[in-house]
Structures are given as C-alpha cells and as structure tokens.
Structure 1
Amino acid sequence: MVEKIRERGEPGVSGWKLVLAYDGTDFHGWQVQPDQVTIQGTLADAIERITGERVLPQGSGRTDAGVHALGQVASFAMAAAIPAANFHRALNRALPASIRVLEAASVAPDFHARHSAVGKRYEYRIFRGEICPPWISRYVYALNWPLDLDAMREAAAVVVGEHDFASFAASDPDLARRSAPNTISDSISDQGEGASTVRTIFSSRWDCVDSDLLVYRVHGSAFLHHMVRNLVGTFLDVGRGHIAATEMKRILEARSRTAAGATAPARGLWLISVEY
C-alpha cells in the first residue's frame, strides 16, 4: 500500500478528474474533518481500496454539511495505471449509493478542480406547497409563507455584476482563511486581514418550476462561504416584506453580515455544475 499522498509532476503519476453527484444530507460537508464522515474522506477511502494509493481529492468547492451536488468536480494525482472506464465502474461499486461518479477521466497534470475553474452554477430549491412530500424533504426548503416574487426577482437582479459581497459572507470566527477573488470556492479559504470579498455574478434569478417549486439560480465566477444561502435568506426577507428590494444596494454597500438576512437552510442548496 502506498502511504505517501501523490503529487502532480512526480514520475509515473497522472492527473485525474471526477464529476460527482451526491446527497449531502448524511455527510459533514465536503472537506475531511476528524471523526466526521465527509464526501472528500469517503471518496479518498474508495480510491485507496481500489488502487492501494492514498490520495486527497481536491474539490471545486467545499460544500457545507447537508448541501447536495449534481456536478461537483474533484481532481487528484495517482500512479495506478487503470483504464478510465474500469476506474469509473470500480468507484461506483466502492462508494455508498449517496455518492455517484458521473465521469472519470485522465487529465493534464496541471488541471486542478478549483484553481482551473472559471465559473460555477448553484440552485436553491424551495417547496411552496402546504405539505412537503417526505421523498423530497431532504432536498428542498419547505416554506409556504406568502412571498412577493416580483420583489424577490428585483432584489436578485441587483447582485448581478462585480460587487463586494462581505455582507453575504459567513461570519464564522473559527474560519482562518478566505478564497482569493480569482479562485472558485463556496468556502472561505483565506480570511486573513485585507482578503478580498469581491466576486462577480453573471446571472441571478428566481424561477417558478411549477406551482409547488420555486428555484433560485445563480451563476458566478466564485462564491464566498455561505454566500448563496445568505443571499437566499435575504431575498426571502424581501419576499415577506421585511426588507424592500431597493435596500439590496444599501446592504451590499454596508459590507457587514448584520445588514443582510438569515442564512437559508443547507438542504435546499445544490451545486449544479462547474465550468473550465
């Protein structure tokens, strides 16, 4: 068994890219944590069982506990010579049913799931019916309050473009790092003094999928930790009439987490896709 974690550029080592879908309900988020079941740790264990190598797959972003994915991307370096199709099948046999590998491919050694990304799409799903069916309750925020959808759409449009999103960043005191503005991560990876909270949002909108499902869709170059969930929580305050849609500009300019709304629950958030 290989104890050392492989590095890109080592002789005989090749780069790999995986596209994953998962139900995040029973995992403590993406990132490996002591004594916690995580997506990253479960994937690393499966790769080790198949190849004998211990790798640490790097995700395009560190989804929080309870957040789901349809198109998470992971990359890692591996020495084992195994055809991609065989590796793909073996991974899905080794992983729990709540994690599926949609694609497995050998890539250039310099490919990195996070650093090579240029865009990411999220959805936040809200069930609007009176009684949420149990078979979807893990994957939506059940909320049947009266909402002013026109006001929510007006507020969502305000965040399109390049803005300082400090008002929508997590305020966790134990986060030590926050991501630089040219990286793509839904987790703050560099919270040092002076780190930028400026991000660019390409599109931001609310869609009624049917009479019971309301979906917030956002496409951006990068996201701060809890940014999408904090945006959704604020938009819901607008929809309930607690905040005027015209206040969104003031909230952005405040650069203070206390100016924005509450954090929406993790279960409604989906990482849809990552662009390279």
Structure 2
Amino acid sequence: MQYSEQYPDEPATPRGGGLARFRLDITYDGTDFSGWAVQPTRRTVCGVLTDALGRILRTDVGLTVAGRTDAGVHATGQVAHADLPVEVDPARLVRRLARFLPPDVRVRTVTPVPAAFDARFSALRRHYVYRVATAPYGAEPLRARDTLSWPHPVDVDAVNAASQRLLGEHDFAAFCKRREGATTVRALERFSWTRAADGVVSAAVSADAFCHSMVRSLVGALLDVGRGRRGVDWPAELLTRRERGQGVAVAPAHGLTLVGVDYPPDSALGARAEVTRNLRVPGGATAPAAP
C-alpha cells in the first residue's frame, strides 16, 4: 500500500493510561475500494484506516462503523468508533492521518465520546443520496465517479408518488439480499426525489437502518417507474412478498453516497444501543438478536 509521505517512527501519543472511546467522522471515494469491511487481499476502507491508525499509534485498532458500505459506494458522513489510548490528541491524530492516508479517504474529525457510544447500534438513522444524471451527454466528468449516467427520462412526480407509498415500517424483503438470521424489517423515514438545475435527479433516502442492497434496490425499482416501465403502485405492491422480488434492478453502486448518521443525546446512547441490538419483526415487536 502506498502512502503520500513517510514519517519518523514516532508514536502519536505518550505511553500510559488505558483506553478511551473516540468517534471518527470519515469521508471517502469508494470507487477503488472493495467496500468497507476488511477482506483478505482486497483494498477496503476499514483495512486502510486500521492500517494507518496502527502505524501511527503502534497498536492494533478495531473500528466499529455505522454502515458497512458495499464496493464502489461513497461516504461524506460515515461514522465509526474506536477505543484508543486515552492520551490521544484528537487534532494531532487528524493531521497525522491526513498525511498517512491515501487521497481517497479522510478522517475529518476525531472526537472523545462516552463509553456507551456505539457507532452502529446507537445510531437513530442513516441518510443516503443517490445521484442520477439524465442529460444526453451523461454525468459531468468531475462528478462521474459519484453519479449514474442514465439514458432515460425520470418523471420526478411519478417517482415521488411511488416513494411515498413505501414510507413507514415494512418488511423490505423484496428489496434486500437476504442474510441468514438477519431481519428485513426496516422503518423508511424519507424517500424523496428532486431535480437540480443541471438536470441531475437525486434521491434522498433515510431509515433507521438498511438491509443489504436495500437502497440500491429501491432506487433501481423507482427508476423503472420514472422511465414509465412500471406503474406508480408497483414498488409498494412488492412489500407483500417475503423474498427478493423478481424484476427489481439493483442500481449501480457508484451513484450512492452515505451522507449522514444521526445519534441521540449522550444520555440516551446506551438505551438506543440496547433497542437496536434486538431484531425487529412485523408489527413492532422485538426478538433477541442472533449472536
């Protein structure tokens, strides 16, 4: 792995004290990453970050992330937490990471947080944006890595009408790649489409959590509505299914960006994490999460 610069072999913090929990706010261009999660022989966001942190702090570092993005998906508002030496100087660590990390990933801030903070389980909701260029020439070159070039019109009124029918808590099995032991019940809080002056259509999608490929499947289904191949009611009709719907296209990864994660006040972090660790089932009941 290549870094932009080499540095003296000095620790970032003095030795001593124990560990404290820190929040990391992260941004990355996902184009050249095989997703977030560490994979042997593959370049991943977590792999690059933990390698850099380990070199700087001279200790193994584990990261817990709010949302494990797939290969090619970007982030401007990713959040992770790590237990680091209590003596860490957050501002200095950000500066050193900027010099150790490759140019397609950055840690914007490092912030001390309570021990109850869990980047994954304490999260209230995640926010994504999917960008679609509908101009005849496709996406602008400077945005081609985060914008889908779509050679069809998108009826914004139709996709918004169809999206509104999907809001609320449902079993989104038709829009997810099922994973053993994982629930597909999710609370979709926002799904709205806007067209900018340059013709780029953006879908803003927010939920308490997302199952595997859910956002890209929702966008793929709605793009079929937007081009007139499917009716406005079709996506909502799929909610009655308990398996992945045939005919639901998965939109390409590169148009998707994780733009934010919301958390409760510090006093509610532990309670929120406890609730989230339970598996939801239809009707609002909960069942113990699988180990």
- State the TM-score, normalized to the length of structure 1: 0.86
- Once the two structures are superposed, what CA deviation does each residue of 1:166-197 show, in whole Å capped at 9, x if it has no partner? 000025xxxxxx5xxxxxxxxxxxx22xx421
Picking from 108, 122, 129, the partner of 2:128 is: 122
Distance in 2 (CA, whole Å) between partners of 1:261 and 1:154 is 18
RMSD value, Cα = 1.6
- Once the two structures are superposed, what CA deviation does each residue of 1:152-171 show, in whole Å capped at 9, x if it has no partner? 11111111111110000025
Counterpart of 1:159 in structure 2 is 166
- State the TM-score, normalized to the length of structure 2: 0.81
Distance in 2 (CA, whole Å) between partners of 1:274 and 1:211 is 27
Paired AA for residue 212 in structure 2: H
- Number of equivalent positions: 247
Task: Report SS of the residue matched to 1:252.
Answer: helix
Counterpart of 2:113 in structure 1 is 107
Query: Which 4+ stretches in 1 moved above 3 angstroms?
Result: none
Q: State which structure, 1 or 2, has the greater radius of gyration over its C-alpha atoms.
A: 2
Moved more, 142-151 or 43-52: 142-151
Q: Any conservation in 1 of the 2:156–2:194 contact (CA below 8 Å)?
A: no
Task: Report SS of the residue matched to 2:92.
Answer: helix
1:221 aligns with 2:228: no
Task: Report SS of the residue matched to 1:31.
Answer: coil
1:202 and 1:220, CA in 2 relative to 1: closer, same or farther beyond 3 A?
A: same
Q: How does 1:105-254 map to 2 (within 5 A)?
A: 105-131=111-137, 132-171=139-178, 178=179, 191-192=180-181, 195-254=182-241
1:265 aligns with 2:252: yes
1:27 and 1:269, CA in 2 relative to 1: closer, same or farther beyond 3 A?
A: same
1:13 aligns with 2:29: no
Gaps of 5+ in 1: 2-10, 172-177, 179-190
1:80 is displaced (CA, Å) by 5.6
Q: Any conservation in 2 of the 1:20–1:99 contact (CA below 8 Å)?
A: yes
1:101 and 1:52, CA in 2 relative to 1: closer, same or farther beyond 3 A?
A: same
Distance in 2 (CA, whole Å) between partners of 1:260 and 1:224 is 18
Gaps of 5+ in 2: 1-8, 10-16, 264-291
Name the % identity: 40
Distance in 2 (CA, whole Å) between partners of 1:271 and 1:16 is 20
1:260 is displaced (CA, Å) by 5.0
Distance in 2 (CA, whole Å) between partners of 1:147 and 1:18 is 37
Q: Any conservation in 1 of the 2:216–2:256 contact (CA below 8 Å)?
A: yes
Counterpart of 1:84 in structure 2 is 90
Q: Any conservation in 2 of the 1:206–1:214 contact (CA below 8 Å)?
A: yes
Distance in 1 (CA, whole Å) between partners of 2:127 and 2:66 is 12
